[in-house]
Structure 1
Amino acid sequence: MKTRVTEIFGIEYPIVQGGLAYLAYAELAAAVSNAGGLGQITAATLRTPEKLRDEIRKVRTLTNKPFAVNFAIARHDGQYKELLEIIIEEKVPAISITGANPQPVFKRIKGENIRTLVLVAGVRQAKKAEQLGADAVMVVGQEGGGHLGRDDIGTIVLTPRVVDSVSIPVLASGGIGDGRGLLAALALGAEGIEMGTRFIATKECIHANEKYKQAILHGKETDTVIIKRTLGAPGRALKSGYTLDIIERELEGATYEDLQNLISGKANCKYIYDGDESAGFGWAGQIIGLIDNIPTVQELFNEMILTADKGLSRIENIIGERAHN
Structure 2
Amino acid sequence: METRVTEIFGIKYPIVQGGLAYLAYAELAAAVSNAGGLGQITAATLRSPEKLREEIRKVRTLTNKPFAVNFAIARHDGQYEDLLEVAIKEKVPAISITGANPQPIFERIKGENIRTLVLVAGVRQAQKAEKLGADAIMAVGQEGGGHLGRDDISTIVLTPRVVDSVSIPVLASGGIGDGRGLLAALALGAEGIEMGTRFIATRECIHANEKYKQAIVSAKETDTVVIKRTLGAPGRVLKNDFALNIIEREQEGATYEDLKDVISGKANLKYIYDGNEVEGFGWAGQVIGLINNIPTVQELFDEMIQTAEKGLNRIGKIIGERSYR
What is the TM-score with the length of structure 1 in the denominator? 0.99
Code of the aligned partner of 2:124: R
Supply the distance in 2 between the matched residues of 1:250 and 1:321 (Cα, whole angstroms).
55
SS of match in other structure, 2:127: helix
Determine if the alignment matches structure 1 residue 250 to structure 2 residue 225.
no
- Correspondences of 1:215-294 after superposition (within 5 Å): 215-294=215-294
Q: CA deviation at 1:322?
A: 7.9
SS of match in other structure, 2:167: coil
Change beyond 3 A, Cα 1:323–1:131:
closer
SS of match in other structure, 1:221: coil
Supply the distance in 2 between the matched residues of 1:322 and 1:222 (Cα, whole angstroms).
41
Determine if the alignment matches structure 1 residue 208 to structure 2 residue 208.
yes
**Aligned equivalent of 2:8:** 8
Supply the distance in 1 between the matched residues of 2:193 and 2:199 (Cα, whole angstroms).
13
Supply the distance in 2 between the matched residues of 1:321 and 1:90 (Cα, whole angstroms).
49
Give a deviation string over 1:35-94, Cα, whole Å, max 9, x none.
000000000110000000000000000000000000000111222000000001100000
Aligned length: 324
Determine if the alignment matches structure 1 residue 57 to structure 2 residue 57.
yes
Q: CA deviation at 1:145?
A: 0.2
Give a deviation string over 1:143-166, Cα, whole Å, max 9, x none.
000000000000000000000000
Q: CA deviation at 1:14?
A: 0.1
- Correspondences of 1:49-88 after superposition (within 5 Å): 49-88=49-88
Code of the aligned partner of 1:111: G
**Aligned equivalent of 1:300:** 300
**Aligned equivalent of 1:120:** 120
Q: Percent identity?
A: 86
Code of the aligned partner of 1:58: K
Supply the distance in 2 between the matched residues of 1:31 and 1:301 (Cα, whole angstroms).
10
**Aligned equivalent of 1:174:** 174
Structure 1 segments unaligned to the other structure (5+ residues):
none
Supply the distance in 2 between the matched residues of 1:211 and 1:78 (Cα, whole angstroms).
33
Supply the distance in 2 between the matched residues of 1:127 and 1:63 (Cα, whole angstroms).
33
Supply the distance in 2 between the matched residues of 1:323 and 1:151 (Cα, whole angstroms).
37
Give a deviation string over 1:240-290, Cα, whole Å, max 9, x none.
000000000000000000000000001000000000011110000000000
**Aligned equivalent of 1:110:** 110
Supply the distance in 2 between the matched residues of 1:215 and 1:322 (Cα, whole angstroms).
46
Structure 2 segments unaligned to the other structure (5+ residues):
none
Supply the distance in 2 between the matched residues of 1:221 and 1:80 (Cα, whole angstroms).
35
Change beyond 3 A, Cα 1:321–1:253:
same
Q: CA deviation at 1:218?
A: 0.3
Supply the distance in 2 between the matched residues of 1:323 and 1:178 (Cα, whole angstroms).
26
Supply the distance in 2 between the matched residues of 1:247 and 1:322 (Cα, whole angstroms).
53
Supply the distance in 1 between the matched residues of 2:249 and 2:322 (Cα, whole angstroms).
55
Determine if the alignment matches structure 1 residue 187 to structure 2 residue 187.
yes
Code of the aligned partner of 1:15: I
SS of match in other structure, 2:32: helix
Q: CA deviation at 1:188?
A: 0.1
Task: Give the superposed CA RMSD.
Answer: 0.9
Give a deviation string over 1:186-209, Cα, whole Å, max 9, x none.
000000000000000000000000
What is the TM-score with the length of structure 2 in the denominator? 0.99
Supply the distance in 1 between the matched residues of 2:217 and 2:74 (Cα, whole angstroms).
30
Q: CA deviation at 1:323?
A: 5.5
Supply the distance in 2 between the matched residues of 1:224 and 1:166 (Cα, whole angstroms).
31
SS of match in other structure, 2:44: helix
Supply the distance in 2 between the matched residues of 1:55 and 1:71 (Cα, whole angstroms).
14
SS of match in other structure, 1:137: strand
Give a deviation string over 1:210-251, Cα, whole Å, max 9, x none.
000000000000000000000000000000000000000000
